[in-house]
Amino acid sequence: MLLLLSWEILARLNILPEYLFPSFTKTLFSGYILIRNGTLWVNVLASFIRVITGFLIGSITGIVLGVIMGYKDAVYRALHPIFSLLMPIPALGWLPLLILWIGINEALPILLVFICSFFPVLYNTVSGIRSVDKGYVEIARSLGASPRKAFFDVVIPLALNNIFTGLRLEAGMAWRTIVAAEMIAIPVGIGALMITSQYLIRVDIIMLCLVILALMTLTSEKLLMLIEDKIIKWR
Amino acid sequence: MTEIKLENVSNKYILKKVNLTIFSKELFMLLGPSGAGKTTLLKAIAGLVDYEGRIFFDGESIDNLPLEERMVGYVPQEFTLFPHMTVEDNIAYGLKARKLPSSTILNKVEQLLDVFGLRNLRKRYPKDLSGGEKQRVAIARALAIQPRVLLLDEPLSNLDPETSKYIREWLKSIIIRRFGITTIWVTHDIREVEELGDRVGILYNGVLEQVGRLREIISSPRTDNIVELLGLHNIFECGVIETDGPFAEIEFQGIRLLAPYDGGKIEKVLIHPQDIVISRETTKTVNTFSGVLEEVDEKIGYVRLKIRVGEAILVSELPLDVYGLLNLRLGEKVFINIRPRAVKLIS
């Protein structure tokens, strides 16, 4: 609230011209116009669908592969050297290559979000699975559980803490990646709207997009925290 | 009920040809210092570690049985309750894993919640339980599957001394009288052995050095390790001067001591080194003598002193800080005091 009030006061002091630093109310009004003519909806929805699709595919693949790598040493030894080499590359570093390989189409931003979600979720899952105390598995086995049952009943639930940490971190990162990708190569989406607004010197729309971006990132992280609290009741 | 027999059980890390028979319904105490192989021996019986040699339950080899078919109730030292399951889910886990009908599971869980006084805690997660409550859940969970044998790895070590003292007897009555299960109880605390065990096995560095009743072992320890472990440095043959109600006056090597007496023949006297109090001044209380400090041996965390009193050499152990405060020198005259309650008479 204080931040919004300061923004409004600073803008009204006219230190910078209004077209370079519009007030909060002006930005809000621009948002209202963009909602009414449908521009904002189309762009936010496009980014949202890309983030959700890329994030879901990346997370599910990361969790499944992470579980296998965490459980089977041989798989870990085979894949870890490859993944540890690929993981440090920033998701946007793949952009030029992906443009050449798959072209500029809807798959491009989804693939970038996939890459940005996959590795952290994978390694958080691996470390979650591997950090579960073997004593729990021994007890489950001595109580009559098969190795498979002990794994699903004990190891996976106890690894959830780590898995959710990976998911929460990457929910925010997915939004940052999608905006950057849309700014560079995609014609529709929040990032694309920001770049178009820059050409048109519409700082009010750029600021509106930044506010939306902040809200979407925060909401994604909070939503995941809520799901985490619902699932991991025993913490 | 089940008799356990171990034949030359060895393990590449610690155990060395352990031979042992534990009788049906017996509460067998396994005593040894840290790193002696006590936990490994339990895990071998439970099938949780590889071993050589043979293990029999009621004469049948269990060596090739997968651990889920051994029907062993194992309670590890740190209880290892599943943190994501409530108390009742922890207790029910083994029954569900064995795919028993839900009505059977419900009945069994209700019964165990009552026996172990856990009814009010049934919906709680382990993080919300005290050490004593966790211990009861862990034992109830192990008993739920109606195991053939129960293996308890230092079940009282995570409890405060007061709770531990109260729980000892109660636990014994539950395990032996109510469930009648052959049990191995691992401990490093001789008091637990004194109060609970039928027989005790002393494990030292993977070797089972002696098995028998505690009194027998104290009377004739087979190795120096056992003397060290049980603190049997001050064990002397003694004679009785007179008995007076709950006390007896005894004599050994020129020393006269007052000791608690509960009838029966007295052959030997035992005083634990920690129970011999050293001072520079006499306190003029019973069981106080003067002696000469003959030897000082610094150990980790404590000092072992040898004091000549008459013809006898008494061994005392003092914490390092107490020894530092006393500032003793070899050959110096000191006074020792032994509380009558600390004098143990052995028949």
Considering only the beta carbons, identify the residue of B72, B83, B84 that sits closest to A142. Answer: B72
Give residue B172's pLDDT: 83
Q: How far is A216 from chain B (nearest CA, A)?
A: 31
Q: How far is A90 from chain B (nearest CA, A)?
A: 36
Structure tokens at A125: 């899952």
State which residue of chain A sits closest to B82, comparing Cα positions.
A136
Say if residues B43 and B49 touch (Cβ distance below 8 Å). Answer: yes
Give residue B57's pLDDT: 95
pLDDT in tens, A58-111: 999 999 999 999 999 999 999 999 999 999 998 889 988 999 999 888 899 999
How sure is the predictor about B159, in pLDDT bands with cuts at 50, 70 and 90? confident
Contact B93 A142 (CB under 8 A): no
Model confidence at B345: pLDDT above 90: no
Contact A145 B93 (CB under 8 A): yes
Q: Global pTM?
A: 0.78
Considering only the beta carbons, identify the residue of B93, B125, B126 that sits closest to A143. Answer: B93
Per the model's pLDDT, the better-predicted residue between A56 and A235 turns out to be A56
How far is B68 from A138, CA to CA, in rounded Å?
10
How sure is the predictor about A24, in pLDDT bands with cuts at 50, 70 and 90? confident
Considering only the beta carbons, identify the residue of A139, A157, A232 that sits closest to B80. Answer: A139
Give phi and psi for B148, each to the nearest 5: -75, -35
How far is B7 from B19, CA to CA, in rounded Å?
5
Contact A140 B85 (CB under 8 A): no
Q: How many Cα atoms occupy the beta-carbon half-sphere of B120 within 13 Å?
A: 3
Q: How far is B337 from chain A (nearest CA, A)?
A: 47
Which chain B residues are Cβ-neighbours of A145 within 8 angstroms? 68, 93, 97
Average pLDDT over residues A117-124: 93
Model confidence at B160: pLDDT above 80: no
Considering only the beta carbons, identify the residue of B67, B78, B125 that sits closest to A234. Answer: B125
ipTM of this predicted structure? 0.78
Contact A232 B80 (CB under 8 A): no
Q: Does any CB of chain A come closer than 8 Å to the CB of residue B312?
A: no
Q: What angle do CA B149, B155, B157 make, to 5 degrees?
A: 155
Identify the residue whose tokens are 């790598």. Answer: A69
- How many interchain CB pairs under 8 A, A with B? 65
Q: What angle do CA A177, A183, A186 make, to 5 degrees?
A: 95
Contact A142 B47 (CB under 8 A): yes
Which domains are delineated in chain B?
A: 4-229 (3.40.50.300), 235-346 (2.40.50.100)
B178's CB contacts (< 8 A; 6+ apart) are B115
Contact A144 B125 (CB under 8 A): no
Give residue B224's pLDDT: 85
Which domains are delineated in chain A?
A: 24-231 (1.10.3720.10)
Cα distance from N-terminal residue to C-terminal residue, chain B: 33
DSSP string, B200-228: EEEEETTEEEEEE-HHHHHHS-SSHHHHH
Which chain A residues are Cβ-neighbours of B141 within 8 angstroms? 143
**Helices (H), ranges, B26-101:** 38-46, 87-97
Which chain A residues are Cβ-neighbours of B78 within 8 angstroms? 135
Contact A144 B98 (CB under 8 A): yes
Give residue A25's pLDDT: 87
Say if residues B335 and B284 touch (Cβ distance below 8 Å). Answer: no
Q: Which of A25-39, A115-129, B267-281 has the highest mean pLDDT?
A: A115-129
Q: Does any CB of chain A come closer than 8 Å to the CB of residue B76?
A: yes
Model confidence at A173: pLDDT above 80: yes
State which residue of chain B sits closest to A158, comparing Cα positions.
B84
Average pLDDT over residues B32-52: 93
Give residue B264's pLDDT: 80
Give residue B283's pLDDT: 76
Average pLDDT over residues B102-112: 94
Average pLDDT over residues B335-344: 90
Choose from A134, A136, A142 for mutation: most chain B CBs within 10 A: A142
State which residue of chain B sits closest to A159, comparing Cα positions.
B84
Say if residues B187 and B30 touch (Cβ distance below 8 Å). Answer: yes
Average pLDDT over residues B150-161: 84
Q: How far is A135 from chain B (nearest CA, A)?
A: 7
Give residue A66's pLDDT: 95
State which residue of chain A sits closest to B147, comparing Cα positions.
A143
State which residue of chain B sits closest to A160, comparing Cα positions.
B84
- Dihedral, CA of residue B249, residue B252, residue B257 and residue B262, to nearest 10: -50
Q: Give the residue numbers in A contacting B (CB under 8 Å), as ranges.
A: 133, 135-136, 138-146, 149, 153-154, 157-158, 232-235
Give phi and psi for B287, each to the nearest 5: 60, 40
Q: How far is A133 from chain B (nearest CA, A)?
A: 9
Per the model's pLDDT, the better-predicted residue between B305 and B262 turns out to be B305
Contact A234 B67 (CB under 8 A): no
Q: How far is A67 from chain B (nearest CA, A)?
A: 18
Give residue A109's pLDDT: 92
pLDDT in tens, B163-182: 777 778 788 888 877 888 99
Q: Which residues pair with B257 in a beta bridge?
A: B250
Average per-residue pLDDT for chain B: 90
Question: Considering only CA atoms, which of A212, A177, A174 is closest in space to residue A193?
Answer: A212
Model confidence at B197: pLDDT above 80: no
How far is A143 from B71, CA to CA, in rounded Å?
8
Q: Does any CB of chain A come closer than 8 Å to the CB of residue B47?
A: yes
How sure is the predictor about A163, in pLDDT bands with cuts at 50, 70 and 90? very high
Give residue A5's pLDDT: 85
Average per-residue pLDDT for chain A: 91
Which chain B residues are Cβ-neighbours of A148 within 8 angstroms? none
Distance of CA B265 to the CA centre of its chain: 26
